[in-house]
Structure 1
Amino acid sequence: MNLGSLSSTSLLIAFIIYNVSFLVFVLALAGKRWSGRDPEAHQRRWGKAGFALAVIGFAAQLVYFFTRWAEGGHIPTSNMYEFMTFLSMMVICAFLIVYLIYRTPVLGMFAMPVGIIIVAYASVFPSEVQPLIPALQSYWLKIHVTTAATGEAFFAVGFAGGLMYLLRTVDYQSDAAAARKERRGVECTLFVIVTLIAFVSAVFGFNAAGYKAQFAQQTLVTDKSGAQQQVTQKVDYVLPPIFAPNGAETVQMTPFLGMSKPLFEAPSWMEGANAGRKLNTVVWSLLGGVVLYGVLRLIARKPLGAAISPLLQGMDPDDLDEIGYRAIAIGYPIFTLGALIFAMIWAQEAWGRFWGWDPKEVWALITWLFYAAFLHLRLSRGWLGKRSAWLSVIGFLIVMFTLVGVNLVIAGLHSYAGV
């Protein structure tokens, strides 16, 4: 078995073990009701089993990481596939650290799915080992990306803690306006998670079915001398084109549900690399999210939050609040070093300036300021409980937009990360 095969097989093994670990953590909580006279012992036993499986999966992903590094000759964090797999590995690592501190099996039920979804999302992107482009040929790639991702991984665990706190404390029986508002907020958060799952599932499904659509689009390209010329750019779609690129000609399109040509054309004001495909992806994600959320609602016969909340009724809300806060408190200084300080030093070396208002830089700063406000409000203003939990949830949604939205939707100097 060569390094490439060993690397991909190790990642697949890690993904499978992570899913099994998640199911074991679910059994640790759901099984308390039918475990007999000692439900706490049942939870501890199954919690240890889930933790052990998570450690084994993490070890398998470490094998993937280092074999891919050996295969490519550089640290595997240079594109979206590699970065997302690394981020998922650090999310699991952060979970293991926080679990060892608090020994709370319920954390595995919420933190493990974050890592699992990120691994699944990574598989959407091309997985071939690619040579480093000139902008990434620096030792700062190792320092900046790894520390930034580690900080974001602890934010993910903080998000899990905050979401658990809300599901545990939101009143699903009250008709008060404040309670209804809280329930809507939790449900919107769960809908975002379901939408991401639906997007990944759709890409998997159409890839497996061999679906393909390709368009030829005329694009203005600026060369090194500043001159502009028109070139023909091929744009490949994995999802059926509800929106085709503006002004593009169809080269190839697999029929889908009787649709042999795009339904609409992307607006002319949408500029940037692959703007039509990005719009198409957003629309498909939202449609898939609505359908999947509707199916889950039909199965549960109640809001998803109301279905999950009973599993957390035995948990101490103060413990969940503490877990969310501690994870963010650990991640914030690491993120500060990686996403700001090290990033600015690398920017000075690569582009000759510390700061340039690139979209990725702006959103990294927004993320840093948000978590700074979170820590200030908690430590100085006493924002504990629900207010702290809401901030941890909103903060990680900002992180995900910085990682996904900025890389794939907004064009900028960091657009190479979306290749």
Structure 2
Amino acid sequence: MLNGIFFAALAAYFAATLLQFAAAAFKKKALEQGAWVLCLLAFALNSAYLAARGVIAGRLPLSNQFEFSTAFAWGVALMYIVLRLRMKAGWMGVIALPCMFLVLSYAALQPKEISELMPALRSAWFGLHIGSAVFSYAAFAIAGCVGVMYLVRERKGEEAGRLLQMDYLSYRLIAFGFLMLTVVILSGCVWAEQAWSSFWSWDPKETWALITWIFYAIYLHQRLRKNWQGKRMAWYAIIAVGFVIFTFIGVNTLLSGLHSYG
């Protein structure tokens, strides 16, 4: 039954993506509304799956790459839903929905067995550290989506006021993601000292999290001190997602270290 909920969520994200593409191609409001309803359904199924897995496991479902990926897709969906409801950002769906589907598709390729937490993860810092990473990565992913839409809309001759709103939204998302990533790194340092008697060990995951943090810190510096805006910031937001993806997937795939469990 648990797997059925997971794959139902995956199918709903896929169907929502197809409808959103069709809505963009044929300019049909009904198709866009259908994509929105399917997105809400997929999010509900995603939420139900995480809740059920957490109850069965007796812990937060964030302990390995499969669980984190599933939560990552959930976080992206949550942010898209909030932005759509509060800011009428339905235009984001054509790029945000494929992002949700792809992240959950990656999760589908991972081992799904429920296992007990390894001793190093049995800590009060577990939820804060990994939960903050979910929201950080989701915010960065959505900011990258906004960057893509900015470039597309600019090429189509979108009015300056709308582009300015998109640019500011991307900045706010990155600022939030940066704050959450700071929490990830600081809580990880404290947790590492408790678990391994060292605040920092230059583990590949730690190192790439720091590289990602520095890259986004440069974005915020250029934005606030140099007043960079518009197209160059949109490209920066898109390129920066590559660092997030490598930290999320590349490190686990290509490098081994203390974080190789997830």
Q: Secondary structure at the match of 2:11?
A: helix
**Contact conserved, 2:15 with 2:38, CA < 8 A, in 1?**
yes
**Contact conserved, 2:83 with 2:89, CA < 8 A, in 1?**
no
- 1:187 corresponds to: none
CA RMSD in angstroms, aligned pairs only? 1.8
Q: Distance in 1 between matches of 2:173 and 2:25?
A: 25
Give the alignment partner of residue 321 of structure 1, picking from 161, 167, 184: 167
Give the alignment partner of residue 229 of structure 2, picking from 370, 384, 398: 384
Q: Distance in 2 between matches of 1:105 and 1:80?
A: 30
Q: CA deviation at 1:19?
A: 1.7
**Counterparts in 2 of 1:314 and 1:31: CA distance versus 1, 3 Å:** farther
Identity in percent: 35
Matched, 1:9 2:8: no
- 2:257 corresponds to: 412
Q: Report the AA paired with residue 162 of structure 1.
A: G
- Return the index of the structure with the highest Cα Rg: 1
The structure that is helix-richer by fraction is 2
Q: CA deviation at 1:48?
A: 4.0
- 2:135 corresponds to: 150
Question: Could you state the TM-score of these two structures normalised by the residue count of structure 1?
Answer: 0.59
Matched, 1:163 2:159: no
Q: Distance in 1 between matches of 2:58 and 2:153?
A: 47
Give the alignment partner of residue 21 of structure 1, picking from 16, 20, 38: 16
Query: After superposition, what is the alpha-carbon deviation per residue over 1:12-58, rounded to whole angstroms, capped at 9, x for unaligned?
Result: 111111122222322332222xx5xxxxxx3xx54444333212211
Instruction: Map 1:263-278; keep pairs closer than 5 Å.
Output: none
Q: Distance in 1 between matches of 2:24 and 2:149?
A: 13
Query: After superposition, what is the alpha-carbon deviation per residue over 1:225-275, rounded to whole angstroms, capped at 9, x for unaligned?
Result: xxxxxxxxxxxxxxxxxxxxxxxxxxxxxxxxxxxxxxxxxxxxxxxxxxx
Q: Secondary structure at the match of 1:416?
A: coil
**Contact conserved, 2:140 with 2:177, CA < 8 A, in 1?**
yes
Q: Distance in 2 between matches of 1:98 and 1:331?
A: 15
Q: Distance in 1 between matches of 2:54 and 2:235?
A: 38
Question: Could you state the TM-score of these two structures normalised by the residue count of structure 2?
Answer: 0.92
Q: Distance in 2 between matches of 1:72 and 1:139?
A: 17
Q: Distance in 2 between matches of 1:145 and 1:369?
A: 19
**Counterparts in 2 of 1:116 and 1:384: CA distance versus 1, 3 Å:** same
- 1:72 corresponds to: 57
Instruction: Map 1:58-207; keep pairs closer than 5 Å.
Output: 58-169=43-154
Q: CA deviation at 1:322?
A: 2.8
Give the alignment partner of residue 341 of structure 1, picking from 183, 186, 209: 186
Q: Report the AA paired with residue 165 of structure 2.
A: D
- 1:398 corresponds to: 243
Instruction: Map 1:30-41; keep pairs closer than 5 Å.
Output: 30-32=25-27
Consecutive unaligned residues of structure 2, counting only runs of 5 or more, are none
Number of aligned residues:
260
Query: After superposition, what is the alpha-carbon deviation per residue over 1:65-114, rounded to whole angstroms, capped at 9, x for unaligned?
Result: 01111111221111111111111111111111222232132201101111
Q: Report the AA paired with residue 381 of structure 1.
A: K
Q: Distance in 2 between matches of 1:51 and 1:100?
A: 11
- 1:362 corresponds to: 207
Q: Distance in 1 between matches of 2:241 and 2:31?
A: 29
Q: Report the AA paired with residue 77 of structure 2.
A: I
**Counterparts in 2 of 1:85 and 1:334: CA distance versus 1, 3 Å:** same
Q: Distance in 2 between matches of 1:131 and 1:408?
A: 22
Matched, 1:332 2:178: yes
Q: CA deviation at 1:313?
A: 5.8
**Contact conserved, 1:407 with 1:415, CA < 8 A, in 2?**
yes
Q: Distance in 1 between matches of 2:137 and 2:185?
A: 13
Q: CA deviation at 1:314?
A: 5.6
